[in-house]
Amino acid sequence: MKIIDFRSDTVTRPTLKMKEAMFQAEVGDDVYQDDPTVIELEKRAAKMTGFEAGLFVVSGTMGNQLAIMSQTQRGDEMIIGEDHHILKYEVGAMAVLSSVVVKSVPGFIKEPSQITQSIRATNIHFPPTTLVCLENALSNGQVIPPQQMLTLIQTAKAHDLAVHVDGARIFNSAIACQCEVADFVKDADSMMFCLSKGLAAPIGSILVGSQKLIDKARKNRKILGGGWRQAGVIAASGIVALNDMVERLKEDHDHAQHLAAQLNTLSDLYVFKDQLDINMVFFKFKKDIDHQHFVAAAKANGILINGPNADVYRLMTHKDINHDDLNQCFSFIASYIKN
């Protein structure tokens, strides 16, 4: 039985071209900064996103935390939305690694006032506010449009705050808005994006920023034990991801729209149609169900689904899910409701 995995786009398998590139990769020692494939990946990533330099890291969490470590001092305060990945899903790493205070605002940061109202006044009793962390695309499936994003960044910069963008799925945002990544982040100080989600590389993320910032982040990466050796073997798949996998993200978005439209025909479901900007479909049952039984039944039918968050389910499309898989998922859910 084929297993159809809707849990996340992190479950993607590398393409044959990626595997071939990894097998043939020219390598060096990245701690010495002489791995040619890593260097090529970092330069390619910086150019594509409009930044001066890039740093290849093992994960999005590492990239985000290096950005915080490299742009704050102990006791500083950073502003972030309470639903942002950095705060919600990175194990409180900013407290452990950077010793920063967090000023959280409800939900996601979408409005300039959320930033301006969170900045500390200069007072001996208060920590200094030095950094704002933004996110795009949001983990609720929405994209903040480029001009709105730039307004947020410019608001922070007008108050002399550094800006880091968690852009784990920033290429999804660019495809959704039919624009370039730089259109979202051209005034930001740093950004992280993932190679291992919709772009389908097996591992790795990129932190981009100024050369000075990346040099500092490289030293901090070494502190965390993140110095690569012959990392070109992995970086080669990242180059293929950037060259071949960006434009095909639209297929994932289209698949999400198709699945959402199917699910919307079921009267016992509520589909969150305002959260369909990228490759995520959110829905909930209008009646009480046994969530554990539903997830187990899906698995028994070859469909992997995460349990709900506050009764809301998330299905994610990606390169390893085709049109027939969408129909199979819909058929299972429709049948489960009837039974």
Q: What is the pLDDT of residue 302?
A: 97
CB-CB contact of 74 with 124 (8 Å): no
Mean pLDDT of 317-329: 98
Instruction: CATH number for 14-244: choose from 3.40.640.10, 3.40.50.2300, 3.40.50.300, 3.30.428.10.
Output: 3.40.640.10
Reported as a single tens digit per residue, the pLDDT across 230-277 is 999 999 999 999 999 999 999 999 999 999 999 999 999 999 999 999
Exposed e or buried b per residue across 29-45, where buried means at least 16 C-beta atoms within 10 angstroms of its C-beta: ebeeeebebbbbbbebb
Mean pLDDT of 87-102: 98
Reported as a single tens digit per residue, the pLDDT across 126-157 is 999 999 999 999 999 999 999 999 999 999 99
Reported as a single tens digit per residue, the pLDDT across 211-236 is 999 999 999 999 999 999 999 999 99
Q: What is the pLDDT of residue 339?
A: 81
Q: What is the pLDDT of residue 245?
A: 98
CB-CB contact of 21 with 237 (8 Å): yes
> 196: pLDDT confidence band, cut at 50, 70 and 90?
very high
Phi first, then psi: give them for residue 102, nearest 5 degrees.
Answer: -110, 125
Q: What DSSP assignment string belongs to 17-72?
A: HHHHHHHH-----GGGT--HHHHHHHHHHHHHHT-SEEEEES-HHHHHHHHHHHH-
Minimal CA–CA distance to 129: which of 81, 77, 94, 72?
77
CB-CB contact of 56 with 271 (8 Å): no
Q: What is the pLDDT of residue 139?
A: 97
Extents of the domains making up the chain:
14-244, 248-338
> Structure pTM?
0.97
Question: The tokens 């899910």 sit on which residue?
Answer: 321
Mean pLDDT of 173-184: 98
At a CB cut-off of 8 Å and minimum separation 6, what does 248 contact? 319
> 1: pLDDT confidence band, cut at 50, 70 and 90?
confident
CATH class of this structure's domain 248-338: alpha beta
Output DSSP code: residue 295: H
At a CB cut-off of 8 Å and minimum separation 6, what does 219 contact? none
Percent of the chain with pLDDT over 70: 100
> 173: pLDDT confidence band, cut at 50, 70 and 90?
very high
Percent of the chain with pLDDT over 90: 99
Per DSSP, the chain holds a count of helices (H) and strands (E) of 14, 12
> 181: pLDDT confidence band, cut at 50, 70 and 90?
very high
Question: The tokens 């985000």 sit on which residue?
Answer: 64
Average pLDDT value over all residues in the chain: 97
